[in-house]
Amino acid sequence: MSDIGDWFKSIPFITRYWFAGSIVVPLIGKLGLISPVYLVLWPENFLHKFQIWRPVTSTLYFPVGPGTGFLYLVNLYFLYQYSTRLETGAFDGTPADYVFMLLFNWICIVITGLIMDMQLLMIPLIMSVLYVWAQLNRDMIVSFWFGTRFKLCDTPLPIAHYQVIINDLIGNLVGHLYYFLMFKYPMDLGGRAFLSTPQLLYRFFPSRRGGVSGFGAPPPSRRQAAPDQGGAGGGRHNWGQGFRLGED
């Protein structure tokens, strides 16, 4: 048990509590401590009966059973692996920026879920995180299950064969929206920054020294910065070396 405790404590802070919630809430529903009816997103109950917890519990809850257990474990694996890699990679030292990304994706997914009458939102949020991580490591060639090889920017596509397609697509679209507004448009296309981490989040999640910072205010366009890359401070951000899918 001490080994499990040490492993759990080694998980980065934000991922740790998201991972724990994704185990505890389904377990509560499975044991019948709270009826799953109260854990999923019913638009009528949320909008008209003010059951305001539903957008949160529907993101953490998954109906675990003989036919869904494997899919649930796969999603837990993706959550742990790729949330950890984002939190300790591109967002290392700036937890407020990572929390903002999760909040932005979550709000977009909840709105989509209300419009499309979706009750379970765990898969779309996890897939949105995986999509952002894949885009930040998009040129890396990785090995997938059964030895199939893909570019990282294409990684969410093979995973779609193992997930519910509509949930996959929503997660990818939301992840792309965040990536485009936060990174692609201001950095590569030289446009204005549409997203910025609220200062309130920096108060609750202060930045640490030594991490990659500055995602709240996207840097200038790469096209504009190119002539100065040889000078002091002109280098690009180091997005990390990437990983093989499935590696610990």
DSSP string for 82-122 = HHHHHHHTTTTT-HHHHHHHHHHHHHHHHHHHHHHT-S--H
Give the pLDDT confidence of 23-33 residue by residue, as tens digits. Answer: 999 999 999 99
Read off the pTM: 0.74
Amino acid letter for position 106? W
CA distance 130 to 160: 12
Segment 128-141 shows an average pLDDT of 83
Burial class (CB in 10 A: 0-12, 13-18, 19+), 235: exposed
Token pair, residue 85, equals: 């890699």
Nearest Cα to Cα of residue 86 among 153, 15, 173: 15
Q: Quickly state the pLDDT bin for 109 (edges 50, 70, 90).
A: very high
CA distance 100 to 90: 13
Contact 218, 68 (CB under 8 A): no
- Residue matched to tokens 């609220």: 198
Nearest Cα to Cα of residue 199 among 77, 78, 94: 94
Q: What is the DSSP letter of 25?
A: H
Instruction: Tell whether the model's pLDDT for residue 248 goes beyond 70.
Output: no
CA distance 98 to 83: 9
Instruction: Tell whether the model's pLDDT for residue 73 goes beyond 80.
Output: yes
Q: Quickly state the pLDDT bin for 16 (edges 50, 70, 90).
A: very high
The angle subtended at Cα 144 by Cα 157 and Cα 247, nearest 5°, is 125
Give the pLDDT confidence of 223-239 residue by residue, as tens digits. Answer: 444 444 444 333 444 44
The DSSP code sequence of 42-64 is: -HHHHHHS--TTHHHHHHH----
Q: Quickly state the pLDDT bin for 153 (edges 50, 70, 90).
A: low
Paired strand residues for 149 = 143
Q: What is the mean pLDDT of the chain?
A: 79
How much is the pLDDT for 191? 73
Residue 125, SS3 per DSSP: helix
Homologous superfamily in CATH for domain 3-138+155-204 = Rhomboid-like (1.20.1540.10)
- Residue matched to tokens 């500055």: 214
Give the pLDDT confidence of 172-224 residue by residue, as tens digits. Answer: 899 989 988 888 888 777 777 788 899 999 999 999 865 444 443 343 334 44
CA distance 123 to 89: 22
Segment 59-79 shows an average pLDDT of 92
Instruction: Tell whether the model's pLDDT for residue 151 goes beyond 50.
Output: yes
Domain ranges of the chain: 3-138+155-204
Instruction: Tell whether the model's pLDDT for residue 245 goes beyond 60.
Output: no
Residues listed for the chain:
248
Q: Which residue has the higher pLDDT, 50 or 208?
A: 50
How much is the pLDDT for 83? 96
Instruction: Tell whether the model's pLDDT for residue 46 goes beyond 70.
Output: yes
